[in-house]
Amino acid sequence: MTAMINLDGGNLTAYRSDPEGEVRGAVIVIHEIWGLVDHIKDIADRFAGEGYIAIAPDLLTGVGIPPEVGLQLIPLMFEPDEEKRTAAQPILREKLAPLGSPEFGQWAVAALGSVVDYLADIPAVNGNIAVVGYCFGGTYSFALAAADPRVRAAVPYYGQPPASTDIAAIACPVLALYGELDPGLMASLPDVTASMEEAGIDFSSKVYGGAKHAFFNDTNSTTYNEVAAVDAWERTTAFLATNLTR
């Protein structure tokens, strides 16, 4: 069963996908910077197929990036013609600018907290709540894990903790997945790893050789890496099965 639902007193919409059989827990699926596009709904459906109630909140429509706009921005970002790609930069900066404000970050974490509230009230979930996010969503997976101790597992794909994140507050295991050809995140990974170790966080990471940022997005032929995506999915589901059993 799938449906669009309203959360946080109607201030947040989300896509919900339910398993057909026994519920093993719940997964919050946080989208990329393109918003709640069909690719993310498909991922939620895949988690439902694994036995989890999957909730994919729409964090960007309210700041001017509904799914239809996100789909228009993707080809601008990955335009192969350098001249056209350069010409599109002002549009991308304008549309994505709100995401960098502290006010948006505070709202987004609070909104994700309302998703945890919703799932915590479902008896079948039994408190077994995880977060998995991609790009923008990977970053907010770290942030939610630090902000809400009810999260029992976090899997950020090609994200990094926001600067304001209190890493020591993360109370759950974290599995972080990266592509080798993602210079910014590769440069920051040693510091992230050291910070996690210093804080005593159960942190593990996997870097996929030859893979780019967004290697899991099978709708983007520029970045998708099937070998990395298949392995990442297997690692993710195994990680959830291990940690959503308390």
Point out the residues that are catalytic: 135, 182, 213
Query: Apex CA 114: angle with CA 46 and CA 102, to 5°?
Result: 105
DSSP the chain: -EEEEEEGGGTEEEEEE--SS---EEEEEE--TT-S-HHHHHHHHHHHHTTEEEEEE--SGGGT--HHHHHHHHHHHT-SSHHHHHHHHHHHHHHHGGGGSHHHHHHHHHHHHHHHHHHHT-GGGTT-EEEEEETHHHHHHHHHHHH-TTEEEEEEES----TT--GGG--S-EEEEEEEE-HHHHHHHHHHHHHHHHHT--EEEEEEEEEETTTT-TT-TTT--HHHHHHHHHHHHHHHHHHS--
Instruction: Enter the tokens of residue 67.
Output: 């799914």
